[in-house]
Structure 1
Amino acid sequence: MSGFTRHRRSGQVIANFTGFEAELLRSLASQLVELLRNEAAVPRDQDPFEAMMDFSGPTNEPEDPVLARLFPTAYADDEEAAAEFRRFTEGTLRDGKSQAAIAIIDGLEDAGLPPELTEEGLHIDVELDPDTAETWLRSFTDLRLALATRLGVEEGDEAFWHALPDEDPRAQAHDIYEWIGYLQETLVDALTD
């Protein structure tokens, strides 16, 4: 994978993934969607107008550390204001994050990633318009936050991660975290090119 680039003539943002990379990205995005929708904060099968007017969202900070990181408390010094803010915003924010992750899944599948990866040597060419590329970028941020939270990544701890043996599952997960960061960086460069 060489990262994202911008096609000079069409303005499309393009990338080529191996089948393994595309499947890994789809899996991560799918896990994020599942996590975001695993609680009652996101209304399902609701009339769009009714959903806009439904302010019965959660009022407490999520118990899952990843969700707490993705939806931090807005007013740390005022519990009542924080609960009201969360009630009015979290459902919509979850839905937006979920839709961004689904855009990655749809983009990979539209580019030819089969429902189950069985073919060796498969390559997926993804072409994104700038708006869709920005959606992917937002989801990459969410994916990195989720991975960093699960791994316990902290600022300045690079030496710890690079000292782990390759066979340590944490090292492998950290490599994925860094790979998503690379994708994010090249996507930003492609969008600003």
Structure 2
Amino acid sequence: MTRRHLSGWRRRGSGETAVYTARCSEHESELLRSIVSSMCELLTERADSAPPDDLATLTGIRSGHSSTPTDATLGRLLPDFHRPDQDDQLGCDTVNGDLNGALRSLNEPLIIDDKLAAAHCLLDTVPIGGGEITLTAAQADQWLTAINDVRLSLGAMLGISEDTPDELDPDHPYAAHLHVYRWLTEQQWLLVEELMG
């Protein structure tokens, strides 16, 4: 499978008026819209399935799930704040499940909001059918967040590690997924380079 590239990110202007442009093909547009929309569905389902909380109703403070997602993809997007294997590094006793659950319940809705905002920014700015993309610096930051989140999702599904090859046999069931993961990694790096000037 040949690599597809957004036609190079370019910075135009300087300072607060700078914009970042690239062109995408119809295929790239469809791919980005599909994978980012799928991630939005996962995050929205997670947010909508949070159990009701009487204290949240009384205080107006939103709360989310207190338990870690069982789905590997969501688990990668919404990891625990503390893991038992960090105890030695941090020099503390294991943080009990109640504290981890409380931290998750308070923070997960806000984290999901931020991830969805970044994803919707990408969806709102990638042209349907392909064409030119023009981003402000703030939108470019949102793109980087959305691309990274999709990469994390794919990486969890693929079990990405240092031993993962650059490409898989074309007949492998995850060959196309790995290709997309590598493509997203490259696009993320190219946009970062342009933002850094």
Pairwise same-fold verdict (TM > 0.5): yes
- How many angstroms apart in 2 are the aligned matches of 1:141 and 1:185? 10
1:56 corresponds to = 63
- How many angstroms apart in 2 are the aligned matches of 1:127 and 1:171? 31
- How many angstroms apart in 1 are the aligned matches of 2:66 and 2:184? 31
Alignment root-mean-square deviation, CA: 2.0
1:7 corresponds to = 12
Shift of 1:180: 0.5
1:165 corresponds to = 169
For structure 2, list consecutive stretches of 5 or more residues without a partner in the other structure: 1-5, 51-56, 84-93
What's the TM-score once normalised by structure 1's chain length?
0.82
- How many angstroms apart in 2 are the aligned matches of 1:126 and 1:37? 26
Shift of 1:134: 0.2
Letter in 1 for 2:172: D
Structure 1, residues 96-134: CA drift from partner, whole Å, max 9, x if none? 1011111111111xx4x1xxx5xxxxx410000000100
Selected match of 1:124 from 131, 135, 150: 131
1:87 corresponds to = 105
What's the TM-score once normalised by structure 2's chain length?
0.80
Shift of 1:42: 7.6
Alignment of 1:35-54 (within 5 A): 35-40=42-47, 53-54=60-61
Selected match of 1:155 from 162, 167, 171: 162
Shift of 1:41: 5.2
Structure with max Cα Rg: 2
Contact 2:65-2:104 within 8 A present in 1 as well: yes
- How many angstroms apart in 1 are the aligned matches of 2:31 and 2:111? 24
Secondary structure at the aligned position of 2:8 is classed as coil
- How many angstroms apart in 1 are the aligned matches of 2:18 and 2:7? 18
Contact 1:100-1:138 within 8 A present in 2 as well: yes
Structure 1, residues 11-62: CA drift from partner, whole Å, max 9, x if none? 101111001101100111100100101124588xxxxxx8x93243110001
